[in-house]
Amino acid sequence: MDLGQTRRGVDMGPSAMRYAGIIQRLEKLNYIVVDRGDIEIGRPSQFDITNDENLKDLDEVVKANEQLAEKVSDVVDKGDFPLVLGGDHSIAIGSLAGVAQKYENLGVIWYDAHGDLNTGDTSPSGNIHGMPLAISLGIGHSRLTKIGGYAPKIKPENIVIIGARSLDEGEKELIREKGIKVYTMHEIDRIGMTNVMEEAIKHVSRHTDGLHLSLDLDALDPQTAPGVGTPVIGGTTYRETHLAMEMLAERRIVTSAEFVEVNPILDIKNQTAEAAVGLIGSLFGEKLL
């Protein structure tokens, strides 16, 4: 999917991660990996269509996420772990729609430089990849919030955002209004990633029966992950993010995950895709010794 924003190329992110050896990496950890292929994404008659409600490429985003929700739901029904590769972050709408109906109280760790809590009313751009967390909370256009046939998918008290350093005014208001737990780069610098993750894990483990990890590669500093569409300087280091994944692996609480916003066109020698694959390895228990 590359229609949730305006910079072409992020639709090739899954291919870049496959090329970086994601399947072989997981198989080395003794997982049985089934690659279910790509979801076919339609094309609008012209790029960057903005309708009257400030939602670019709405029809295509809805259609793709409906398909993704069905596929993810099927994976969960089979007792398997859904690992979704993106693609821009609008795909989280479908991922969460497919997962959340299987849980009473799904927890979410949103590891991202951005809050993705905009709506058509608050978004400066109309890009739907900046809206999936709000949509999953049931806030936004009904065609998006009702994907999967129900809303909301998640509750604000079950969310933790980690790595935020670029929030729009409307997002800040929604965070305050809903009481969403956010660890900005200030908190990570001040108390360290170990303490942030310990607190975050405690928060999302309280009264939840599953945990979805949504990791946007732009959470990492652009020096580490240059191949993203909306880079923001001052992000987490590769080592800090590895630690975060390792701590989640130790607790064995993640029940579904997605890694998004890898854009090979903007990347340097597939550096960002390789970083994503390394982080996925850590999430699934890869260790040095």
Residue 262 in contact with residue 268, Cβ under 8 Å?
no
Residue 80: both structure tokens together = 């398997």
- Please confirm, yes or no, whether 261 is among the known catalytic residues: yes
Q: Which of 114, 141, 212, 242 is catalytic?
A: 114
Of the candidates 261, 267, 274, 286, the residue annotated as catalytic is: 261
Structural contact between residues 257 and 109, judged by C-beta atoms closer than 8 angstroms: no
Closest CA to 214 of 244, 235, 189, 234: 244
186 in active site: no
Catalytic residue among 60, 88, 171, 218: 218
Q: Choosing from 57, 171, 216, 221, which is the catalytic residue? A: 216
Catalytic annotation on 218?
A: yes
Active site residue 114: yes
- Among 156, 154, 175, 153, which residue's Cα sits nearest to residue 164? 175
Residue 129 annotated as catalytic: yes
Give the active site residue among 11, 60, 88, 89: 89
Q: Annotated catalytic, 216? A: yes
Q: Could you give the CA distance from residue 151 to residue 139 in angstroms, rounded to a whole number?
A: 9
Using the structure block, give the residue that is written with the tokens 């737990």.
Answer: 181
Largest CA distance in the chain: 55
Asked about 267 being catalytic, the answer comes back as: no
Is 141 an annotated catalytic residue? no
Q: Which strands form 181-184's sheet, in the order they lie side by side?
A: 83-85, 256-260, 210-216, 106-111, 159-164, 181-184
For residue 56, how many C-alpha atoms fall within 13 Å in the half-sphere facing its CB? 20
Of 129, 141, 212, 242, the active-site residue reads 129
Which residue among 2, 112, 221, 267 is the active-site one? 112
Query: Dihedrals φ, ψ of 36, to 5°?
Result: -85, 10
Q: What positions carry a catalytic annotation?
A: 89, 112, 114, 116, 129, 216, 218, 261
